[in-house]
Chain A
Amino acid sequence: MKKISPFLFGAALLASTAAHAQLHVEIAGVGSNQIPIAVAGFADESMAPAQISAIIKADLERSGVFKVIDAGTVLSDTANIDYSAWKGRGADALVVGSVQKLPDGRFEVRYKLLDTVKGAPLSTLPQSVEPRYTRLSAHKIADDIYLKLTGARGAFATRIAYVNENRAAHDYRLEVADADGEGTQVAVKSNQPIISPAWSPDGTKVAYVSFEKQKPVIYVQNLVTGQRTVVSNQKGSNSAPSWSPDGSKLAIALSKDGHYQVYSVNVDGSGLRRLSNSNGIDTEPQFSADGQSIYFTSDRSGGPQVYKMPASGGNATRVTFKGNYNISPRVASDGKTLAWVSQREGGYSLYAMDLSSGQELRLADGATEPSFSPNGKYIMYATKGGGRTGLAVVSTDGRIKQRLSTNAGNIREPNWGPFMK
């Protein structure tokens, strides 16, 4: 709690604005593995609504992969660079760029990634963006740097959905923000609870559960048009939507047969089909990355455990064995890692398992509702304790931790969106 207070103070200063999310980053145990990179101020960047070089620096720092060196100067993408001088300052790479206002009101954002070791340009990414997308242009540059220097796709330009709730005020919001918690937009506002948001694979829709009809009902909402449809309102409870990788179906959990079981349904609500068959609770279905399997939570053997079955239904095999409370399975995009929540020694902790070896790693305590970044490198989760909830991020290897919170209400139920253009 001590660590978070300076940032809470900062948030309080913004109390007049809408609920404002900010990240607090803790990085532990990375040390010499970090790539040293210098980021210069972009020429004329102050004319754009967002300071591009600052966003790039924050993204790179937050990843834990880079050691960011403040260049302390402005360098345009056309400037002559003394590579050896930057190498002498300990930077393996240098980022330079410029911003220019175009006659049509857009901004031209130019950047160059320079390899100071080889003394040569490594990458460029010219962009012409509307003023409201300058933040996005900076995240895209950070993604390009991440890809060129680590070989893996960055997730800085992705978005997250989560629920921001103030129960006392009966104010429940489904919000969408950039992956760094900035640029918050309200997608749904209700006076009844909203839970379990799930992004469609193309990033234009979100499925979620709303209690506006005094019971849980599953909706799919087109974020672009605001149009929403009821996907499932069967007798009893309807919940836990999960998209198939091709975006055509949802795996859901329904109590229509007297206890929770897993079903599949087309996105338009047609073609409802029961997939699981047990006498206990079967819920929280999650498609594997290849769409061939569904992981889910079942208490068929007593306490809740994670199981796996074919996506078309059929025999289920048990996946978790340690502890007697294992819930909320999520699979990384490469299909190799399972993240879930386990209650051991009282508390709820976030675990990751290498699915080929079965080896487990405890990533965080006081954690629920995990969600993988689309590159599989990070897991966002809800922190729970003392009634107040917030969001946090941990790298899948457990070395980097970040916390995200707001100045109002509780934020929970995070779902990390897919890669988008």
Chain B
Amino acid sequence: MRQFKSLAFIITSAALLAACKTPVKLNDTPVVERTTAPQSSTANDRDIRPVDTGATDELNNPGGVLANRSIYFDFDSYTVRDDGKPVVENHSNYLVKNKTRHILIQGNTDERGGTEYNLALGQKRAEAVRKSMSSLGVAESQIEAVSLGEEKPKATGSNEEAWAQNRRADIVYQ
């Protein structure tokens, strides 16, 4: 019984779907045909019409790859580590596709050393990210590399764990 009922359902559905197609008259223009087709008066309660809300900006997806905007550096190092490369690549891809977007790359250092020299070292980290992005095709006009030196630590402690958090470059969309 069950199988029969299912089969009957499929046959009925197929017949209904076939009925949706308005017979094409040869003298009609195809353009009109296409626009009128989905607006068939024989629409069924089980029809699905997809709705597009317009392009969603991946930048606003909190679970997306662009949500990660920090690139970390080793002590006394100013080259992008392997774990930072995907971050640079993801944002570069986005910036290449979205030419109207601009970013600040803010370089940071840990608290050890002089204020101004640390500002210069933070700049080196920002420049390393800028150069990587530039080599991936991002226009220079979309990027500004700046330094915050030791002034804006992410972690406040005076230990290696905190310092490692603070040796970083942040991508800030404007």
Contact = CB atoms under 8 A, between A and B. Distances in A.
A258 B114 CA distance: 21
B115 A237 contact: no
Interface string B106-134: 10000101111101110110010000000
A327 interface: yes
Contacts of B145: 236, 255
Interface in A306-330: 325, 327-328
A369 B146 contact: no
Interface in A62-118: none
Contacts of B172: 214
A377 interface: no
B128 to A, nearest CB: 11
A259 B124 contact: yes
B156 interface: yes
Interface in B155-174: 156-158, 172
A283 B106 contact: no
A167 B114 CA distance: 18
Given A237-B147, A281-B124, A328 B158 contact: no
A240 B146 contact: no
Q: Which of B113, B114, B147 has the most A CB atoms < 10 Å from its CB?
A: B114
B123 A369 contact: no
A327 B117 contact: yes
Nearest to B121: A281
Contacts of A384: 111
A234 B120 CA distance: 15
Contacts of A180: none
A261 B117 CA distance: 12
B117 A255 contact: no
B123 A259 contact: yes
B144 A235 contact: yes
Interface string A342-378: 0100001000000000000000000011000000000
B146 A239 contact: no
B144 A215 contact: yes
B123 A211 contact: no
Contacts of A211: 148, 151-152
Nearest to A193: B151
A387 interface: yes
B5 to A, nearest CB: 67
Given A236-B123, A259-B124, A386-B158, A368 B114 contact: yes
Contacts of B119: 195, 216, 237, 239-240, 283
B117 A304 contact: yes
5 contacts: A215-B146, A216-B147, A260-B123, A297-B117, A387-B157
Given A259-B124, A328-B114, A368-B113, 6 more contacts: A196-B116, A236-B123, A255-B127, A260-B120, A327-B116, A368-B115
